[in-house]
Structure 1
Amino acid sequence: MEQDFAAAVPHGTEDGIWQLCLDRLALEVPPQQFGTWLKPLQAQYASSDGCLRLLAPNRIALDYIRGRYLERIGALLRELSGQQSLRIELGVARRATGAGGVAQRAARVAAVAASTTTSAQGLAAQFGTQLRAREQAQGHLNLTRQPVAPLHAAAQATYDDANGYGMQAGLDLPAPPADAQDEATAAGPASAPPSRLNPQLTFETLIEGSANRMARAAALHVAHAPGQLYNPLFIYGGVGLGKTHLMHAVGNQTLADKPDAKVLYIHAEQFVTDVVKSYQRKTFDALKQRYHSLDILLIDDVQFIAGKERTQEEFFNAFEALLSKKSHIVMTSDTYPKGLTDIHERLVSRFDAGLTVAIEPPELEMRVAILINKAKAEGIALSEDVAFFIAKNVRSNVRELEGALRKVLAYARFNGKDISIPVAREALRDLLSIQNRQISIENIQKTVADFYKIKVADMYSKKRPASIARPRQIAMYLAKELTQKSLPEIGEMFGGRDHTTVLHAVRKIGQERQQQIELNQQLHVLEQTLKR
């Protein structure tokens, strides 16, 4: 028992009280933490001893919730139930074992896949493959409550069960706490490592658009034919655009086609941790045995190995071993291979030897589709006008898009209102106030100068070398896009230049942004920095 209050919740009310509690928490807790730790909790009323039990999917989640959120949950439940005291227990849902466990996991995957109506588009022509169309019937996720497990039985839950509380479809799955990862690796290579895949993150639950079409096509090809073309596959893009979703989709599809395949998803920081442990325990042979025997290695945020010499050496060894046995490697990063710093050239050249594809920020129509499908998964029909309102005000990434939607849904539910544009505007008032904050041309000039490592004075000087002229044009473009200043006003701020010079820069950068992935990524980073 983690918390003990005198009174009990009346039978039949625990669902409503817990839902109200979740709605309040969704307004207080960052979207990523809410989706990872709080949303998967199940509420169960035990009439035999008159208490409300909150069931976590595993011991890791239980410990994290107990240390971080339990006090706040208790306060909210007391407030919402109208009780001065309330009895609550925190436990772990009992895991199904054997064939039943496999069937239960398959049912979870099928349930989530049915929650959207997306079709698997054909592979792009450059990949030379045409896939059959896939249509999924509409439905909603329906999680069956599990019986309460005794608290002492919680130790049976290991980190591989973490996929039960992963993020919603379309989001990057966050790396678990270090202690959680330690628990997963403590057993060593004597037993087959868990795949650490989130079964909710599949190709069917990923909304496709022009921003991710090529990356999705490449990932789908790898999933159906691992070890052949596009090895390694290097996916890069900004935060929250779906890179991790694609990696999990590759792993889940591979296991669906070949259940005995050895697949492992890890964050690069976990690989660093494994190398450090091997150093401490002198168990590098075990490290090699674990990683070199895989059929598919999915490693997230590979830029985190920068500057770590021994980690890069071990990763290079694993890289070579896997490629030699025709195992597949899929990596993600926040930048393209040649943009990585403090990583050995021999590694960078191998990253670039396969296929490198980018995921860009989703366009408006794609953001609207994501919102409608995410709301549908929650059992809510979101109107297009509300979806367009949210999508127009949240442009950065899918993770923030889902967070905004969750705020709107929670606000409407908590206040008993229908979802409309005024309700969405009120729910997102803090976000909108930040978005509407004026961005000055001076701030744009300083931000761009810092990014391209030139002096701010170069922005309005008469110097014209390419290393200065190019950033100056980018700053002019951003000034036109992000401020209400006219072309003559912008020209005046850039050393008294004529408005035609500004117009030329705006048109030039705008056109090149559509053609050059690298420039588009740089502009995206600059825009996000200026909007903070």
Structure 2
Amino acid sequence: MMTTAWKQILNSLEKSLNPGLFSVWIKPLEGHVEGNRLKLLAPNAFVANWVRDRLLQVICEAAAEVMGGSPRVTVEVGAPRKAPAKKMLKPMVRSIAKPLGLPIADAPKAVTVSNWRFSFDDFVVGPSNELACAASKSICGNIFNSDHLFLSSAPGLGKTHLLHSIGQEICRHSNRNSLNVMSLSAEEFATRLVLAIKGNQVNQFKTRFREKADVLLLEDVHFFQGKEKMQDELLCTLKALNNRGCRVVLTSSFLPKELKKIDSQLVSRFCSGFLAHIGTPDFETRRRIVLEKARRLQVSVPVEVSDLLAERITTDIRQLESCLNNLVLKAKLLNRTVTMDMAWEVLENYAVHNASPDFPHIIEFICRSYDLSEEELRSKSRKRQIVLARNTAFFLARRHTEMSLKAIGERLGRRHSTVLKGIAKVEREMSQQTPLGRQLKSTVERLVS
């Protein structure tokens, strides 16, 4: 019987992994928990090696969550099982063949809503992803003019989130009980093809993807670069699905025109539908992502902490959410509240933004830090808070840009001499370590440290 601990580890892996990845490589494993050891038995050496090379780390993390400490995880090839009774053979063949992409007598079942990791409800929309989100929602209904959508972005900006949201939405609102949604990565597609070739099951592979699939959600198609035979099979699959009017959503870290060693016909096919690029989110979007994630974790995060994380991790939403997860977990383990000091400690483990900021970024940062508008910063007001903010902007612009004092002054409606005096005042307060100086030092460090 399956142990409770292994069941819990399986549940954790199912939630964290792509549904196709989980079905192909995790489901066939047999797990045995003995003390601080998790022993995994794979059906063959091919699966065992693949899991060791690519999934061992994520399995170790899931095991640690359930078993505690640092459990030892091993992957071995299981001993051949006793031949089952005839009446039990068909269910067993189905349970083994289906995850590996091999043919079975019954038609493939649809991916159920419970398999999807993300939904549109928890996708935070901003200027950088608004078009991609709208296109993704549209392809789920009947108002989209194309059955083909290509999503591109740098890693960690939401392609997978939108792909899973599309799958969940289509499954939820379909009026068909047997809708077959194929969701997998390009690497999984290639692996299934290789297994089909080795097992002399290519025709069944083609039938499954070209004739049985109603929706194809395929991630990271840049994986096919330089793989001619794989490209041929994918091209034929896309043509067949297009002829049947099936919906296809592809994702990649590159736009089609940026792909190398890809057949021109396949590039043309990638471009045949709607192309939507996801850019780097702005500060406000990143801040709302932190707050939304905190809400889902049911934890209160101080405003200054959410602002800090959004300021420091700027190019990878996956890292941003991971950082918050680790911050919350650390606070719970230590039985403390989330603080700025703790946030700084956790941030040390992440690749934060360290590039020298340009002038617009400095102005945005100052306005946010002092709760001012750009108009107030450039105004003739002599209010203490506005003057302090303006002087800090002078100081940061002089330190981090190559702008002259005159150019800095012109951008903020001030004379060269005013800029010079403002910089000198900030430097004096910081060097004397007055209360105001310490406040200024903290503000300056938040921008670039």
1:374 pairs, out of 278, 281, 293, with 293
Could you tell me how far 1:324 is from its partner in structure 2?
0.6
Q: Tell me which moved more, 280-289 or 399-408.
A: 280-289
CA contact (8 A) 1:292 1:321 kept: yes
**Residues 273 and 391 of structure 1: CA distance in aligned 2, closer, same or farther (over 3 Å):** same
Q: In the alignment, what sits opposite 1:9?
A: none
Shift of 1:420: 2.0
**SS of corresponding position for 2:151:** strand
| 2:158 alignment partner in structure 1 | 242
Q: Find the counterpart in structure 1 of residue 182 from structure 2.
A: 264
> 1:373 deviation in Å?
1.3
The DSSP-based 3-state class of the residue aligned with 2:400 is coil
Distance 2:222 2:208 in 1: 22
Task: Look up the match of 1:254.
Answer: 170
Matches within 5 A, 1:133-282: 184-188=99-103, 190-193=105-108, 198-225=115-142, 229-258=145-174, 259-282=177-200
Q: Is contact 1:158–1:184 with CA below 8 Å preserved after alignment? A: no
Task: Tell me how far apart the structure 2 counterparts of residues 401 and 67 of structure 1 sit (CA, whole Å).
Answer: 19
Q: Give, in whole Å, the separation in 2 of the partners of 1:214 and 1:287.
A: 34
The alpha-carbon deviation at position 244 of structure 1 amounts to 1.1
* SS of residue in 1 equivalent to 2:250: strand
- What CA distance in whole angstroms lies between the structure 1 residues aligned with 2:277 and 2:65? 44
- For 2:300 and 2:200, how far apart are their aligned partners in 1? 56
- Tell me the secondary structure at the aligned position of residue 224 of structure 1: coil
Aligned to 2:116, the other structure's residue is in SS state coil
Q: How does 1:32-51 map to 2 (within 5 A)?
A: none
Aligned equivalent of 1:319: 238
Segments of structure 1 that go 5 or more residues without pairing to the other structure are 4-13, 15-21, 23-31, 38-50, 80-85, 87-155, 161-179, 440-479, 489-498, 504-530
Structure 1 CA distance for aligned equivalents of residues 232 and 295 of structure 2 = 46
Within 1, Cα distance between the matches of 2:319 and 2:69? Answer: 31
Alignment partner of 2:314 out of 395, 410, 416: 395
Q: 1:306 aligns with which of 225, 228, 233?
A: 225
1:351 paired with 2:351, answer no
1:400-447 CA-partner distances (Å, limit 9, x unpaired) = 011110121122222222112222112223437x655889xxxxxxxx
Find the structure with the greater CA-based Rg: 2
Distance 1:208 1:302 in 2: 24
The verdict on how the C-alpha distance between 1:324 and 1:72 changes in structure 2, with shifts beyond 3 A counting, is closer
- Letter of the structure 2 residue corresponding to residue 273 of structure 1: T
Contiguous gaps of at least 5 residues in structure 2: 19-34, 72-90, 358-395, 412-447
For each residue in 1:19-51, what CA deviation from the matched residue of structure 2 results, as whole angstroms up to 9, or x when unmatched?
xxx9xxxxxxxxx999559xxxxxxxxxxxxx9
Deviation of residue 188 (structure 1)? 2.1
| CA displacement at 1:225 relative to structure 2 | 2.2
Are positions 1:333 and 2:249 aligned together?
no
State how far apart, in whole Å, the 2-side matches of 1:236 and 1:405 are: 25
Aligned-residue offset at 1:75: 12
Give the direction of change, closer, same or farther, for the CA distance of 1:217–1:438 in structure 2 (3 Å limit).
closer
* Partner residue, 1:493: none
1:419 pairs with 2:338: yes
Q: Report the secondary structure of 2:126's partner residue.
A: coil
TM-score under structure 1 normalisation?
0.51
Question: Shift of residue 193 of structure 1?
Answer: 3.4
Kindly, what percent of the aligned residue pairs are identical?
25
Q: Which amino acid aligns with 1:313?
A: D
- Residue type matched to 2:103 in 1? G
What is the CA deviation profile of residues 465-492 of structure 1, one whole-angstrom value per residue up to 9, with x for unaligned ones? xxxxxxxxxxxxxxx99x935248xxxx
In structure 2, distance between residues paired with 1:264 and 1:76: 33
- Which letter does structure 2 place at the counterpart of 1:327? C
SS in 2 for 1:287: helix
Cross-structure match for 1:69 = 60
Aligned pairs, how many?
A: 318
Change (3 A) 1:484 1:191: farther
Q: Distance in 1 between matches of 2:66 and 2:199?
A: 44
Distance 1:73 1:199, change over 3 A: closer
CA RMSD of aligned residues (A): 4.8
Summarize deviations over 1:324-378 as a string: whole Å, max 9, x none: 1100111001111111111100111111121101011221111111111111111
Question: 1:77 and 1:359, CA in 2 relative to 1: closer, same or farther beyond 3 A?
Answer: closer
Aligned to 2:29: none
Residues 1:339 and 1:190: Cα distance change in structure 2 (over 3 Å) = farther
Alignment-mate amino acid for residue 292 of structure 2: N
Report the Cα offset of residue 186 of structure 1: 4.6
**Structure 2 residue identity aligned to 1:184:** P
User: 1:73-126, CA deviations, whole angstroms, 9 ceiling, x for partnerless residues?
Assistant: 4998579xxxxxx9xxxxxxxxxxxxxxxxxxxxxxxxxxxxxxxxxxxxxxxx
- Alignment correspondent of 1:362: 281
In 2, Cα distance between the equivalents of 1:65 and 1:194? 28
Residue 287 (structure 1) aligns with: 205
AA partner of residue 157 (structure 2):
L
